[in-house]
Structure formats: structure tokens, C-alpha cells
């Protein structure tokens, strides 16, 4: 078999449990956001967002940054467990910055927070910072609502400074000590620059990707090898189906990720940030989907979109109806079970191509609304949360997400956790994905890219569950994207 082509190794993806930081959890010293002297942006253009003058931090006005006083509001998608982890970070942050109150407000799912921010922009009620996906930020940027974060990075007082590398994080690369933006996983940081306007409009907070989870108990009993290429995987599906027709051998939790990752892995056009945005309606993409349709019809393959009630394939995996699934590492807990031993492997590669894994998980964007004191405070909070130590702690606490700092993977806290969790699904996932940092990809970002992602995830479902042909399904989705 072909070995997966992996570009390089820089670290390990963090996966863990809240128990590791339980002792640190405490209620946030949070209050509702105040001091919201605002700048008008509701009717601004994207150009005004990009060109707005940045006011550098002035110690003669604000004093030492540790004495800065401000109330900030942070909108997230976190559930109870991650909310506790954020509260723990906030408590530690307030030991250094006692006059900055961080009000953390969970807003539901990513689609909920996107809708609420879109509603808040014209009314001037956006938070100080918020969880985001770049697809969402493209819309906020077009409305002139978000800031160019590069200005904070370069600030001579509160930006990334060599003097702070010991506390914030640094690592050795090519014989040199690097810090600041160079200490962030490159693909994670670069994602924030992939907008239609020059600048940095989002920064990584915590990240995840996808992995192949399989029923190791049955694989060992049957002597099956874990597939390393897609040809191997489909051949194994034929074998499994022939030996036990009751199994659906393989599942993929995200229809959108299946489509987008397959195109990226094969070098097939998907979208473009400039010119004609929607490029996926092409013969090569249709050939891939036609193959998936045949596998679904043969009972060898399922996705969330092809299952009744759009249930996750991880449910069938736990119930041993499906023996292999591709699922988010951020949702590794949903593939965990005491019913059998769970193996973890890289996604299969397409023969002749390098491994490509999708970058997921929340970034942070900064909004124009608010006083400069609030914006400085939000930046200081972001830097604190993504310092080497706290990025590692949050990744472990949030059960399945990854630190965004390269130096996080070398902290005693993180390496100690990996040693303790080697026999868990989280430890196995971390071991498998340790080489993925240089294999991350992200899609072009533009107004409409979020809708395109949702739309292409419906193509396979349209063919399987309706009388549409592959050509007709592609055309329907393409027309939907173009119509907006």
C-alpha cells in the first residue's frame, strides 16, 4: 500500500478532558459590557473597515497595560464544559489584568452566532469580540464591522514583543528562536489573512480537523488492514459488505467536508475569492459524486445527509452498524465507546496526491464598535488565552480541540496530558494527527462562501433522496449559489 504523503511534523494536536483543569475552574469576574462609546459602522463599506486609522496604545492615557480598565463582551458557541474552561482562563487573566471584566456569552451554534451578529451590525449592538469562521467574517467585513487585527500585532506597547516571549510562547525553528505570530501554527494564522481585502481580520482561538475512526476490535479479528488510500478504502468496503451484508462499512459525518476535502485533495476547483466565485460545477467533481452515489446505493457508504433525519454517522458507529467513519477530532467523544476498541488513523489519500485535512474550529474577530480601551482589553485577553500554556490548557479542557501555538505542544502540561491519555481515544487521535499541521487547508473566503459550503453539502443528498441526476443536482446547487 502507498504511505500517506505528509509534509512535515511540528507538533501534536491536543485532545483532552475537563478534569485536567477542574481545579482552575471558577466563575468569571465578568460583568455586562459597559463603556460602549461607539464608532459608527452600520452603513460603512468594507473599504472604510480596512482603512480606519488605528490608535496605538498610549501609556500616558491608559497607564501600564496591567492597569487598563474596561468591560468587554465575548460571544462564543461554547457549551457548559467549555464555558467553565473559559471561566478558568478569565480568572487567571484577572490575576494579571484585575480591571478588565470579560463578559462571556454563549450564543448557541455557529449558525446562531452568525445570525445574531448579522442582526447586531445594523443596530450597533455587536460584541467586542466573537467566535467566528472566516466565511462569516467575510460578511462582517463587507459591512465594515470588523477591525484589521494586524494593528494590534504591531502595536509597540501591547503587540507581540520579544520581551514577552517567555510568558507568551516561543520555539526553535531552523536554529532560530521564534515568537509572536511565528509561534502560531502557520495554517491557523494565515487563515485570518485570506480575505478579499489586505489585512488580518480573524485570529485562531482553538482548532480541530478530521480523522478516520474504525472498529479496531473487528478489524483485528478479521485481519483487515486500515486503508491508507481511497482505493484501499472502497476495496475494503466491498470485502466487508460481501462478508456481512448487514454492515454499512463506511460513513462520513459532514457532507460539506466530504465534498470540499475531496476537491482540495484532488486539485479540483471549488471556489475562488475573486472573479467567478463558484467553480465546483465541473466534470471532475461530478465524477467523484457519481462514485459516492454508487457506493451509497450499494449499501457501502452513508453520510449525515443520506441518513434518515440527518443523524450523525457516529451514532451508527457506536451501535456497530458502521465500522469506519470520518469525523471531527473536535467531536472525538462521539466516536468513543466501551462496546469495542476504537482505532484512529489519518484520512485516506487519493493516489498520487498529498494528504489534505480541513482546518476547523473557532477563530476570533474584533468589532469596530466600542472604545479603544475595550479593544485594547480584548486584544490583551486574546493574547493571554492563546499563550503557550493557556492554549494547551484550553485544548485539553475542551475535549478535542487543538492548541494554536506551536510552543503549546512542548509545555509540561500538554506533554504530561498526552502521556496520561495515550490509551484513550483522545491520546490516539493526538498521536495520529501530530504530523497534520503542514497538511491543513482552508477554502477561499468571500461574501457567499459560507452559503456555498452549506449548498455543496446537499448535492449527494439531492441525488440519493430525489430523482435528480448528478448533473441536475450540481446545476440546482450552482444556481442557488449564484442567486445568493
Query: Which residues constitute the domain of residue 218?
Result: 210-358+443-483
Q: What is the mean pLDDT of residues 110-117?
A: 94
Pick from 133, 481, 477, 433: which is nearest to 305 by CA? Answer: 477
Cβ-contact 15, 429 below 8 angstroms: yes
Report if residue 103 sits inside a domain.
yes
For 422-466, write each residue's pLDDT tens digit: 888 988 887 787 778 789 899 999 999 999 999 999 999 999 999
Bridge partners of 172, per DSSP, are: 177
Q: Tell whether 248 and 304 lie within a shared domain.
A: yes
Predicted pLDDT at 12: 33
Q: Tell whether 314 and 458 lie within a shared domain.
A: yes
Alpha-carbon gap, residue 25 to 89, rounded angstroms: 8
Q: Tell whether 152 and 130 lie within a shared domain.
A: yes
Cα torsion through 132, 382, 71, 372, rounded to 10: -90
Q: What is the DSSP letter of 435?
A: G
Domain stop point among 375, 405, 420: 420
Alpha-carbon gap, residue 160 to 305, rounded angstroms: 44
Q: Tell whether 116 and 203 lie within a shared domain.
A: yes
Report if residue 12 sits inside a domain.
no
Alpha-carbon gap, residue 172 to 179, rounded angstroms: 9
* 19-33, 243-257, 437-451, range with the lowest pLDDT: 19-33
Q: Residue 473 — pLDDT band, cuts 50, 70, 90?
A: very high
Report if residue 429 sits inside a domain.
no
Report if residue 234 sits inside a domain.
yes
Q: Tell whether 204 and 214 lie within a shared domain.
A: no
Q: What is the mean pLDDT of residues 200-214?
A: 95
Cβ-contact 330, 401 below 8 angstroms: yes
Cβ-contact 128, 378 below 8 angstroms: yes
Predicted pLDDT at 299: 97
Q: Tell whether 112 and 90 lie within a shared domain.
A: yes
Q: What is the mean pLDDT of residues 31-37?
A: 34
Residues with Cβ within 8 Å of 324's Cβ and at least 6 positions away in sequence, in order, are 212, 213, 214, 215, 227, 233, 236, 249, 250, 251, 317
Q: What is the mean pLDDT of residues 374-386?
A: 98
Pick from 385, 381, 365: which is nearest to 373 by CA? Answer: 381
Query: 178-201 in b/e burial notation, b at 16+ Cβ within 10 A?
Result: bbbbebbbebbbbbbbbbbeebbb
Report if residue 293 sits inside a domain.
yes
Residue 5 has pLDDT above 50, yes or no: no
Q: Residue 224 — pLDDT band, cuts 50, 70, 90?
A: very high
Residue 305 has pLDDT above 90, yes or no: yes
Q: Tell whether 279 and 373 lie within a shared domain.
A: no
Domain stop point among 381, 405, 420: 420
Report if residue 436 sits inside a domain.
no
Report if residue 285 sits inside a domain.
yes
Q: Tell whether 258 and 327 lie within a shared domain.
A: yes
**What are φ and ψ of residue 279, in 5° steps?**
-110, 0
CA 479 remoteness from chain centre:
28
Alpha-carbon gap, residue 16 to 45, rounded angstroms: 42
Domain at 62, CATH number: 3.40.190.10
Residue 22 has pLDDT above 50, yes or no: no
Cβ-contact 56, 157 below 8 angstroms: yes
Q: Tell whether 309 and 454 lie within a shared domain.
A: yes
Q: Tell whether 335 and 280 lie within a shared domain.
A: yes
Angle (deg, nearest 10), helices 412-420 and 388-397 = 30
Q: What is the mean pLDDT of the chain?
A: 88
Q: Tell whether 254 and 308 lie within a shared domain.
A: yes
- Domain count of the fold of the chain: 2
Q: Tell whether 217 and 266 lie within a shared domain.
A: yes
Residue 33 has pLDDT above 50, yes or no: no
Report if residue 434 sits inside a domain.
no
The predicted model scores a pTM of 0.85
Amino acid at each position: 500500500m502507498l504511505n500517506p504523503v505528509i509534509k512535515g511534523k511540528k507538533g501534536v494536536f491536543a485532545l483532552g478532558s475537563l478534569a485536567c483543569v477542574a481545579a482552575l475552574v471558577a466563575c468569571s469576574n465578568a460583568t455586562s459590557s459597559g463603556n460602549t462609546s461607539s464608532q459608527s459602522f452600520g452603513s460603512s463599506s468594507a473599504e472604510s473597515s480596512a482603512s480606519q486609522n488605528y490608535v496605538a496604545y498610549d501609556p500616558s492615557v491608559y497607564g501600564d497595560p496591567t492597569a487598563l480598565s474596561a468591560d468587554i463582551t465575548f460571544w462564543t458557541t461554547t457549551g457548559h464544559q467549555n464555558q467553565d474552561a473559559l471561566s478558568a482562563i478569565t480568572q487567571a487573566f484577572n490575576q494579571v489584568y484585575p480591571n478588565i471584566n470579560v463578559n462571556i456569552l454563549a450564543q448557541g451554534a455557529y449558525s446562531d452566532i452568525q445570525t445574531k451578529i448579522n442582526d447586531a451590525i445594523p443596530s450597533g449592538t455587536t460584541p467586542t469580540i466573537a467566535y467566528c469562521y472566516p466565511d462569516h467574517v467575510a460578511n462582517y467585513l463587507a459591512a465594515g464591522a470588523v477591525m484589521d487585527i494586524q494593528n494590534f500585532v504591531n502595536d509597540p506597547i501591547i503587540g507581540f514583543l520579544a520581551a514577552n516571549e517567555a510568558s507568551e510562547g516561543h520555539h526553535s525553528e531552523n536554529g532560530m528562536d521564534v515568537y509572536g505570530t511565528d509561534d502560531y501554527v502557520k495554517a491557523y494564522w494565515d487563515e485570518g489573512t485570506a480575505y478579499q481585502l489586505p489585512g488580518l481580520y480573524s485570529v485562531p482561538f482553538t482548532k480541530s480537523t478530521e480523522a478516520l475512526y474504525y472498529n479496531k476490535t473487528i478489524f483485528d479479528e478479521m485481519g483487515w488492514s486500515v486503508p491508507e488510500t481511497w482505493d484501499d478504502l472502497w476495496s475494503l468496503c466491498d470485502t466487508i459488505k460481501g462478508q456481512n451484508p448487514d454492515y454499512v462499512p463506511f460513513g462520513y459525518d459532514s457532507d460539506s467536508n466530504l465534498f470540499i476535502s475531496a476537491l482540495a485533495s484532488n486539485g479540483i476547483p471549488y471556489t475562488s475569492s475573486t472573479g467567478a466565485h463558484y467553480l465546483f460545477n465541473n466534470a471532475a467533481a461530478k465524477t467523484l459524486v457519481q462514485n459516492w452515489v454508487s457506493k451509497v446505493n450499494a449499501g457501502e457508504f452513508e453520510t449525515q445527509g443520506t441518513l434518515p433525519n440527518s443523524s450523525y454517522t457516529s451514532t451508527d458507529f457506536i451501535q456497530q452498524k458502521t465500522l469506519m467513519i470520518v469525523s471531527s477530532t473536535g467531536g472525538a467523544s462521539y466516536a468513543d465507546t466501551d462496546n469495542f476498541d476504537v482505532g484512529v488513523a489519518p484520512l485516506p489519500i487519493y493516489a498520487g496526491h498529498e494528504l489534505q485535512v480541513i482546518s476547523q474550529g473557532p477563530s476570533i474577530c474584533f468589532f469596530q464598535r466600542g472604545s479603544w480601551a475595550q479593544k485594547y482589553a480584548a486584544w490583551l485577553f486574546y493574547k493571554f488565552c492563546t499563550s503557550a500554556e493557556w492554549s494547551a490548557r484550553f485544548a485539553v479542557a475542551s475535549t478535542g480541540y487543538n492548541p494554536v501555538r506551536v510552543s503549546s505542544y512542548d509545555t509540561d502540561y500538554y506533554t504530561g496530558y498526552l502521556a496520561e491519555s495515550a490509551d484513550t481515544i483522545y491520546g490516539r487521535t493526538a498521536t495520529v494527527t501530530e504530523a497534520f499541521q503542514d497538511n491543513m487547508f482552508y477554502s477561499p473566503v468571500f461574501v457567499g462562501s459560507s452559503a456555498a459550503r452549506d449548498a455543496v453539502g446537499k448535492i449527494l443528498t439531492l441525488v440519493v433522496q430525489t430523482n435528480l441526476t448528478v448533473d441536475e443536482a450540481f446545476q440546482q446547487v450552482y444556481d442557488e449559489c449564484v442567486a445568493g
